Chain A
Amino acid sequence: MENLFNLFVRSIFIDNMIFAYFLGMCSFLAVSKTVKTSVGLGIAVTFVLLVTAPVNWLVDTYLLKPGALIWLSEDFADLDLSYLSFMIFIAVIAAIVQLVEMVVEKFSPSLYNALGIFLPLIAVNCAILGVALFVQERDYHSIAEVTVYAGGSGIGWFLAIASLAAIREKITYSNIPKPLRGLGISFIITGLMAIAFMSFMGIKI
């Protein structure tokens, strides 16, 4: 339990998807113009992460890992399908995003309207595939760990995009040097925020 809590806090603050690994930067910079839309995207990303990461972990553990197919027959003990993982992961993500979109549309039209165009875009958000690959690389052992890690990463991403959007709304009226306006200053702000987030490093719970 303590381990899970530690993992959760780590994935939000220390291993933050944006500030430590720069994952999902494209939509991070493109969508963070107003707080409202970025909150919508943040929720959508967290939601999709919570669904896709455990599924991809299951696929990896029971289908792709070296010897994973042993539950099918003893003959597959040294079969290693892990080279297929990129293709399977991205297919799983694209399929689940489509599925989530349909389910949300059916059962919660209000949420569907709020997430709107963001849901289909999420399939190609690097943060989603990134979490799947990190989970594979770091060898998490249980589905609980994976879910907690995915949730934490999603919340970290959400925090980052919401705060950048808030800052960008504020600086609309500041007098920034012309060549730096727009994209340039967003990069520098993100950099400064990342430095601030680094103060969480080394915290152990």
Chain B
Amino acid sequence: MSDSNTKAEKEPMFSAKVLKLLKNPLNLENPITVQVLGICSALAVTVQMKPAIVMALSVTIVTAFSNLIISSLRNTIPSRIRIIVQLVVVAALVIIVDQLLKAYVYDVSKKLSVFVGLIITNCILMGRLEAYAMGNKPWPSFVDGIGNGLGYGLILVLVAFFRELLGSGKIYGMKVIPQALYDSGYMDNGLMILPPMALITIGIIIWVQRSKTTELQED
């Protein structure tokens, strides 16, 4: 209780610290390629761009709001039962998102099938709740949630872009590879649509990212 009340002076809404929360997850602390969180649902929805974008948005919203709620409640949650409290908050948010998706984008919701429900056990959520929201004020936690959701979405969209482009010659459902190329013998790579290539694509993304930012390399 004390830490939130004693600090009377107000920080600006978008101080450098808060902006960093938004920017870091995009590269240096990317939830997927660096923190290894939330891979479970990340790979299966990346055959096409559209479900990937919807999934990324849903996760961002759920992460941001669950961070906000848990962070506002953090001083009243007994630490012994915090996991179940977190799960209930997250599950409630996911139910709302699921019902919204069913109502407004039914075809995408069918494609995502069980993976909307699996946002509940997405490790990004639990990871961020435990690591950040339990110890920080609501506003930075909210921003942290948005940042991590976007970092997750970035990888998702990137993987979906390559898989859709190489696998079916489309971007966001539109043909981009000209017919002339097909006539001269080009073929879509059917393997890209199958699950294994999602793993290999992420492997390559990690490779590229770590060659650029050497401090992330493991030995």
Contact = CB atoms under 8 A, between A and B. Distances in A.
Interface in A62-113: 83-87, 89-91, 94
Interface in A178-205: 178-188, 190-192, 194-195, 198
B194 interface: yes
Contact of B196 (A25, A137, A184, A194): A194
A187 B203 CA distance: 5
B198 A22 contact: yes
Interface stretch (A4-12, A37-45, A128-136, A148-156): A128-136
Q: Which of A20, A23, A29, A83 has the most CB of B within 10 A?
A: A23
A54 interface: no
B92 interface: yes
A124 interface: yes
Interface stretch (B8-16, B35-43, B51-59): B35-43
| Contact-residue bracket for chain B | 35 or more
Contacts of B120: 86, 90, 129
Contact of A187 (B41, B121, B200): B200
B44 interface: yes
Interface in A19-70: 19-26, 29-30
B206 A90 contact: no
B211 interface: yes
Contacts of B200: 187-188, 191-192
Contacts of B123: 26, 124, 126
Contact of B87 (A90, A180, A182, A195): A90
B191 to A, nearest CB: 8
A191 B118 contact: no
Given A19-B195, A22-B40, A133 B210 contact: no
Interface string B75-99: 0000000011001100110110011
Given A124-B87, A179-B207, A179-B210, 12 more contacts: A20-B195, A23-B40, A29-B39, A86-B98, A87-B91, A123-B87, A127-B40, A129-B118, A129-B120, A178-B210, A178-B217, A179-B211
Interface of B: 33, 36-44, 83-84, 87-88, 91-92, 94-95, 98-99, 113-114, 117-118, 120-123, 126, 194-200, 202-204, 206-211, 214, 217-219
Interface of A: 19-26, 29-30, 83-87, 89-91, 94, 123-130, 133-134, 137, 177-188, 190-192, 194-195, 198
